[in-house]
Amino acid sequence: MPSLESLDPAWLPVEAFRALGGRRVSVRGSGELVETVRAEVREACGRFGGEVVSEGPCELLLEVTAGELRELGDEGFVFAFDGERASVTASAGAGLLYGFFHVVRLGEDAFRGPVRGELHSPALPSRMVDHWDNVAVHPVMGQVERGYAGGSLFWADGAARRDLGRVRAYARLLAACGVNAVAVNNVNVHAAEARLLTERIGEVAFLADALRGYGIRTHLSVTFAAPIVLGGLETSDPLDAGVREWWAGAVGEVYAAVPDFGGFVVKADSEGQPGPFAYGRSHADGANMLAAALAPFGGTVHWRAFVYDHRQDWRDRSTDRARAAYDHFAPLDGEFAANAVLQVKHGPMDFQVREPVSPVLGALPRTRVAVEVQATQEYTGQQRHACWLGPMWSEVLRFRPGGEQGPSVGESADELVAVSNVGDDPFWTGHPLAQANLYTFGRLAWEPGAEPLDVLDEWLRLTFGEGELGGLRGLLAGSWAMYEKYTAPLGVGFMVQPGHHYGPSVDGYEYSPWGTYHFADRDGVGVDRSVATGTGFAGQYGEPWASVYESVESCPDELLLFFHHVPYGQVLKSGKTVIQHIYDTHFEGVEEAEEARRVWAGLKGVVEPERFARGVERFEEQVRSAREWRDQVNSYFFRKSGVPDERGRVIY
């Protein structure tokens, strides 16, 4: 396993291996992943005085056995403690690997407590991280699109990195939280990156070799126009025989280079990317063509549902971007191939701090669906602000599109995907606390019904050890709510600076072609998405939600401005008017950010110096930025509404 001295160990510090490393451990089985476990155990025992034993009594048995565990699948395992010996039993190497990290997470608890035997297996078979990494560095966007943690882990100087130590360390971290799939390049596929599919597949294979040792299958983002730009064909029409033949050939070459290749990720007809619309074909046609090429090899196509008109005229109030994914994809339910996965952003817009759950989730029962969340904090502080997204993702996964009797999103979804938040930053994620988002993603993908605060506790204990952390848990637990307080209110979204999306600009997207408006005027604010008088978006939900969202009275406060345009004097369920809510939350949000800064400052000497210093700098910026948000938003709405703050605080 990698030992990169300068690299932050994240949730796998040496200490986390003390409990098992001090014991007699037996590893039984064979295969690449079993060897990975064996090497891990050897390293831990070497460090902490334990012993790897092949025969005789042991305190921890890690074993792959064919047989009765088959129904758990390759990735499941049984963890048992018989009062003296702990054991992990799996039917395949992957299960053993996850069981090993389960023991790591338990620490001493693995070796004490009641006699027990527990079955563990992932709720979702694919738990994927999508990297929006470019091979080349873009002069404006940088190397990682919407990346806030330095350059790419995978690509440097225009090619795959030669030294993959960091990639292996990353794969290990991913495995330790349950991720088993990675897409190594941006869904916006530029010219150089397009060629990864063909003549540059060797670079992908090189990366795949490093990821495979921790049970991670490699995926590739490809351009729908590949038959034209790479194959020299005149069309990429998905029903054209020559096009289908070209893809079949290309996929064959990919699998020759990467035998366990996971498949493709495709952003088509979206924000300028090519797609099947150009040929009058449906997105099912497009996805199924790629699915057909991948099927013989066991590959999957992840087809993104993020399709909308990004050249909208802001004057046109009849078009509603929130409607787009449902309008495009709901009619296609049942038409997608078995190895095509529709990858759906969790909200109908674009990873805002607060959105309703996408009505697409629940609307395609006969389609394999992946829920896409954004670990990279594009709209939630860009890893300069602490904002732990566990509660938001958990809300999505626990949402029941068909009401209390129906399944939750986490129960009905087939996969969970996160847009990556890591880069070649020494702390992986820019803000050291942003590591919690990646960890939480992996754990929720394994168990969507998990209590996010339990996951947070796991992460804290692994990362910082057992010591006293002051208010750090509370800080993180409340950080999403805090961020929401000082940014766009009541679900209305955006209000960010155009382009880079950092910091406030209330009207930044108000007269733009992107379809992201708040319609604030002197009387009120919000988007009427009701069926009765608005865009009809609320009607895309099943009951009870269509009715809940349809009326101002039943719509939850936090989504009020997403669904309704209301006067500033509208009284919320909280008892406050909308305008007073805006003022109050913005003052509160800043106070909480200041308190968060104090909490971190109190960890001096507890957190190691480099990580502490990085955090100090980030919290400084968070407070500055939160104040900017507070003052711009409050001033904007005070100037527009003319309503003074009830408490007479300073508004500019």
Which residues are catalytically annotated?
A: 271, 350, 378
Task: Please identify, among the stretches 293-301, 312-320, 416-424, 533-541, the one whose residues bind a second copy according to the rule CB under 8 A.
Answer: 312-320
- Give the C-alpha distances (Å, rounded to integers) separating 207 from 161, 183, 202, 218, 293: 8, 11, 9, 8, 22
Q: Which residue's entry shows tokens 């078979």?
A: 125
List the one residue out of 526, 591, 439 whose CA is nearest residue 12: 439
Q: Which is nearer to a second copy, 366 or 522 (CB)?
A: 522
Residue 504 is classified by DSSP as B
State in angstroms the smallest separation of the CB of 139 from a second copy: 4
Question: Quick check: 139 binds a second copy (CB under 8 A)?
Answer: yes
Q: Which is nearer to a second copy, 142 or 542 (CB)?
A: 142
For residues 517 and 289, give the distance between their C-alpha atoms in angstroms, rounded to a whole number. Answer: 36
State in angstroms the smallest separation of the CB of 503 from a second copy: 10
Q: Which is nearer to a second copy, 217 or 321 (CB)?
A: 321
Q: How is residue 301 written in tokens?
A: 């196509």
Residue 571 is classified by DSSP as B
Q: Which is nearer to a second copy, 245 or 594 (CB)?
A: 594
Question: Quick check: 318 binds a second copy (CB under 8 A)?
Answer: no
- How far from the centroid of its chain's Cα atoms is residue 437's Cα? 8
State in angstroms the smallest separation of the CB of 509 from a second copy: 10
State in angstroms the smallest separation of the CB of 522 from a second copy: 4
Q: Which residue's entry shows tokens 């003022």?
A: 583
444 Cβ contact partners less than 8 Å away, ≥ 6 residues apart = 390, 393, 394, 397, 410, 416, 450, 452, 455
Residue type, 144: V
Encoded one letter per residue, x for contact with a second copy by CB under 8 A and - for no contact, window 599-628 reads -----------------------------x
Q: Which is nearer to a second copy, 260 or 628 (CB)?
A: 628
For residues 478 and 390, give the distance between their C-alpha atoms in angstroms, rounded to a whole number. Answer: 10
State in angstroms the smallest separation of the CB of 516 from a second copy: 15
Question: Quick check: 648 binds a second copy (CB under 8 A)?
Answer: no
Q: Which is nearer to a second copy, 252 or 498 (CB)?
A: 498
Determine which residue in the list 55, 522, 575, 648 makes contact with a second copy, applying CB under 8 A: 522
Check the CA dihedral 550-552-558-561 and report its sign.
Answer: positive
Span 624-643, contacts to a second copy by CB under 8 A? 628, 631-632, 635-636, 638-642
Question: Quick check: 296 binds a second copy (CB under 8 A)?
Answer: no
Q: How is residue 359 written in tokens?
A: 């009505």
Determine which residue in the list 67, 140, 404, 468 makes contact with a second copy, applying CB under 8 A: 140
- Give the C-alpha distances (Å, rounded to integers) separating 476 from 303, 386, 437, 471, 483: 33, 7, 10, 9, 11
Size of the site for a second copy (CB under 8 A): 26
Residue type, 46: G
Question: Quick check: 319 binds a second copy (CB under 8 A)?
Answer: no
Task: Please identify, among the stretches 254-262, 345-353, 504-512, 616-624, the one whose residues bind a second copy according to the rule CB under 8 A.
Answer: 504-512
For residues 430 and 385, give the distance between their C-alpha atoms in angstroms, rounded to a whole number. Answer: 10
State in angstroms the smallest separation of the CB of 528 from a second copy: 15
Task: Please identify, among the stretches 270-278, 314-322, 427-435, 593-601, the one whose residues bind a second copy according to the rule CB under 8 A.
Answer: 314-322
Determine which residue in the list 57, 407, 511, 574 makes contact with a second copy, applying CB under 8 A: 511
Encoded one letter per residue, x for contact with a second copy by CB under 8 A and - for no contact, window 564-603 reads ----------------------------------------
Q: Which is nearer to a second copy, 7 or 141 (CB)?
A: 141
Burial of 354 (0-12, 13-18, 19+ CB in 10 A): buried
List the one residue out of 257, 150, 124, 138 whose CA is nearest residue 190: 138
State in angstroms the smallest separation of the CB of 317 from a second copy: 8
SS (H, E, C) 595-642: HHHHHHHCCECCECHHHHHHHHHHHHHHHHHHHHHHHHHHHHHHHHHC
Q: Which is nearer to a second copy, 253 or 521 (CB)?
A: 521
Determine which residue in the list 204, 284, 419, 520 makes contact with a second copy, applying CB under 8 A: 520
List the one residue out of 15, 36, 150, 20 whose CA is nearest residue 90: 36
State in angstroms the smallest separation of the CB of 597 from a second copy: 20
Q: Which is nearer to a second copy, 507 or 588 (CB)?
A: 507
Task: Please identify, among the stretches 189-197, 311-319, 355-363, 419-427, the one whose residues bind a second copy according to the rule CB under 8 A.
Answer: 311-319
SS3 of 456, please? helix
Check the CA dihedral 104-106-111-116 and report its sign.
Answer: negative
Determine which residue in the list 504, 515, 526, 589 makes contact with a second copy, applying CB under 8 A: 504
For residues 616 and 597, give the distance between their C-alpha atoms in angstroms, rounded to a whole number. Answer: 7
Q: Which is nearer to a second copy, 11 or 629 (CB)?
A: 629
- How far from the centroid of its chain's Cα atoms is residue 300's Cα? 19
- Give the C-alpha distances (Å, rounded to integers) separating 169 from 13, 41, 217, 227, 612: 12, 16, 15, 36, 22
Determine which residue in the list 309, 521, 543, 646 makes contact with a second copy, applying CB under 8 A: 521
Determine which residue in the list 51, 395, 507, 558 makes contact with a second copy, applying CB under 8 A: 507
Question: Quick check: 158 binds a second copy (CB under 8 A)?
Answer: no
Span 264-293, contacts to a second copy by CB under 8 A? none
Site for a second copy, rule CB under 8 A: 139-140, 314-315, 317, 504-508, 511, 520-523, 628, 631-632, 635-636, 638-642, 652
